[in-house]
Amino acid sequence: MRLSRYFLPVLKENPAEAQIVSHRLMLRAGMIKQSAAGIYSWLPLGLKVLKNIETIVHEEQAKAGHLAMLMPTIQSADLWRESGRYDDYGEEMLRIKDRHGRDMLFTPTAEELITDIFRGHVTSYKDMPLTMYQIQWKFRDERRPRFGVMRGREFYMKDGYNFDLTKEDAMHAYNRHLVSYLRTYERMGLQAIPMRADSGPIGGDDTHEFLVLAETGESEVFYDSAVTDLTFGDRDINYDDKAQCQSIMEEFTTKYARTDETHDEALFAEVPQERRKVARGIEVGQIFYFGTKYSEAMGATVQDADGKQVPVHMGSHGIGVSRLVGAIIEASHDDKGIIWPEGVTPFHCGIVNLKQGDAEADAACEDLYRQLTKAGLEPLYDDRNERAGGKFATMDLIGLPWRLTVGPRGLKNGVVELTCRKTGDSEELTPEAAIAKVIARYM
Ligand code: 5CA
């Protein structure tokens, strides 16, 4: 992409309404624009990051054997009356009437609709286990939408639902989700710690939230600092292997880590004092096992091996896809702007031409651009007629991991400059060597 043809409405000043750094930087970098309280348009740069996060979620769900599908955002109230949640959900649910006076709603989550789909098609234990998920817009009429996309009213969420014959099978689905989420967040450059939590309006006893530690997080968390030493890394996972998934779940959830809703002072006191931490965190996902709560209320039963009709065991599993954009920025930025992890960056590399219009510099930039593109990468070439300082400031603000700087002086010596956004380190390399280095980062 050439910056001269892009839509990047960068703001010079800090927007007064933004209280936290991710909100500020998303507005300043021209990623989003508010359209109403807690409701945002995603501008081209923001949408690219959102889609990259979505892609990682899809890839990791596919590995776990979960099936992607898509349900509507507008649902009939009837199903929600069956489960009893039409009345229970309260003011967070946006209720709508259609032209015939029928009660409709904008879906805040989809346990009812997926259970309806399941009961309409699955009648035997032989068709299970089954886990389906979607990535779809949700609406919750939050009392205090704030912090930009962190607590929106409209937000983009991955919601997955498992259907199993027994509690044991459903707990395997729970563990599978936990494992796949650990990998998902790590690919985004985040450490998200599973913490025992409260299930709220979804219901059930077994639930973990995934929290990214950050001062601006809305949740108070209590944990044994040893949990922050755990990393998932490049493990070879067989998602059908119950024992393997169970042991990873235990590895990551045995040490004390809880949100304030389930915090237990007596248990916490057993953690060695120097490892007892109280901090704040951003909830980027939550997994639930709620057994037969919805299947019983809505008659989702199957025939088991003895020919008996039994209600299925279920859980649901969410990732805050749009919230993650903010969470990643909270975890990765400096005074100059965003620092994208390579896994989610909107462009792989920036190209800054120090002297636009200089025949040699222009040609060298074009060549870098062509070669990176040919290798399957997406560079962002700042080809505007601007001062170098302004170009650097824009690149730093939008946070691309690598920047190639090209100017007549360097070209005389046969070199361009490659700069790492995270460390600020620069090196002079031949254009070929610089390109090879950038390409290697993404292979
Ligand atoms: N049905 C279950 C699992 S799919 C569910 O709705 N879970 S949830 O309520 O925990 O939401 C899943 C994730 O969506 C949360 O962990 C959070 O990361 C994100 N989320 C929830 N509310 C908002 C909001 N108002 N703005 C942005 N993200 C949100």
203 CB less than 6 Å from ligand 1?
Answer: no
285 CB less than 6 Å from ligand 1?
Answer: yes
In a 13 Å sphere around the CA of 270, the CA atoms on its Cβ side amount to 7
- The CA distance from 171 to 402, in Å, is 42
CB 110 within 8 A of CB 134: yes
Nearest atom of ligand 1 to the alpha carbon of 153:
25
Centre of ligand 1 from the C-alpha of residue 148, in Å:
15
Considering the domain architecture, whether residues 12 and 44 belong to the same structural domain is answered as yes
Candidate from 40, 196, 286, 324 with most ligand 1 atoms within 8 A of CB, to mutate: 286
The protein residue with its alpha carbon nearest to ligand 1, atom 10, reads 286
- The CA distance from 9 to 3, in Å, is 11
Considering the domain architecture, whether residues 57 and 112 belong to the same structural domain is answered as yes
Considering the domain architecture, whether residues 353 and 300 belong to the same structural domain is answered as no
Give Cα separations from 113 to 71, 72, 76, 332 (angstroms).
8, 9, 9, 37
Q: Which amino acid is at 18?
A: A
> Is 178 domain-assigned?
yes
> Is 400 domain-assigned?
yes
Considering the domain architecture, whether residues 174 and 68 belong to the same structural domain is answered as yes
Predicted local confidence at residue 202, as pLDDT = 74
Query: Which residue positions in the chain have pLDDT lower than 50?
Result: none
Closest CA to 314 of 131, 149, 185, 136: 131
Burial of 17 per CB tally in 10 Å (0-12, 13-18, 19+): exposed
> Is 3 domain-assigned?
no
Considering its fold, how many domains does the chain have in total? 2
What residues make up the domain containing 411? 349-442
211 CB less than 6 Å from ligand 1?
Answer: no
> Is 50 domain-assigned?
yes
Burial of 198 per CB tally in 10 Å (0-12, 13-18, 19+): middle
> Is 2 domain-assigned?
no
- pTM higher than 0.95, yes or no? yes
Considering the domain architecture, whether residues 314 and 396 belong to the same structural domain is answered as no
Where is 434: in which H helix or E strand?
A: helix 431-442
> Is 343 domain-assigned?
no
Closest CA to 262 of 228, 226, 221, 216: 221
Burial of 99 per CB tally in 10 Å (0-12, 13-18, 19+): exposed
Predicted local confidence at residue 201, as pLDDT = 77
The protein residue with its alpha carbon nearest to ligand 1, atom 19, reads 320
Predicted local confidence at residue 205, as pLDDT = 74
CB 144 within 8 A of CB 92: no
Closest CA to 362 of 417, 420, 411, 400: 411
> For position 396, which CATH number holds?
3.40.50.800
3-class DSSP state for residue 61? helix
Considering the domain architecture, whether residues 329 and 431 belong to the same structural domain is answered as no
Candidate from 259, 323, 324 with most ligand 1 atoms within 8 A of CB, to mutate: 323
Predicted local confidence at residue 369, as pLDDT = 98
Closest CA to 322 of 192, 139, 74: 139
> For position 148, which CATH number holds?
3.30.930.10
> Is 98 domain-assigned?
yes
Centre of ligand 1 from the C-alpha of residue 144, in Å:
15
Pairing, β 67-68 against β 74-76: unpaired
Predicted local confidence at residue 199, as pLDDT = 80
176 CB less than 6 Å from ligand 1?
Answer: no
Considering the domain architecture, whether residues 192 and 294 belong to the same structural domain is answered as yes
Q: Which amino acid is at 355?
A: K
CB 242 within 8 A of CB 250: no
CB 383 within 8 A of CB 2: yes
The protein residue with its alpha carbon nearest to ligand 1, atom 22, reads 151
**For 207-239, what is each residue's pLDDT tens digit?**
999 999 999 999 999 999 999 999 999 999 999
> Can you read off the two tokens belonging to residue 435?
């390109």
- The CA distance from 418 to 431, in Å, is 9
* Region of residue 38 (left: phi > 0; alpha: psi -120 to 50; beta: else): left
> Can you read off the two tokens belonging to residue 162?
């498992």
Pairing, β 301-303 against β 309-311: antiparallel
CB 402 within 8 A of CB 441: yes
Centre of ligand 1 from the C-alpha of residue 312, in Å:
24
Centre of ligand 1 from the C-alpha of residue 110, in Å:
12
> Can you read off the two tokens belonging to residue 280?
């704040």
User: If you ran DSSP here, which 8-state letter would residue 233 be given?
Assistant: -
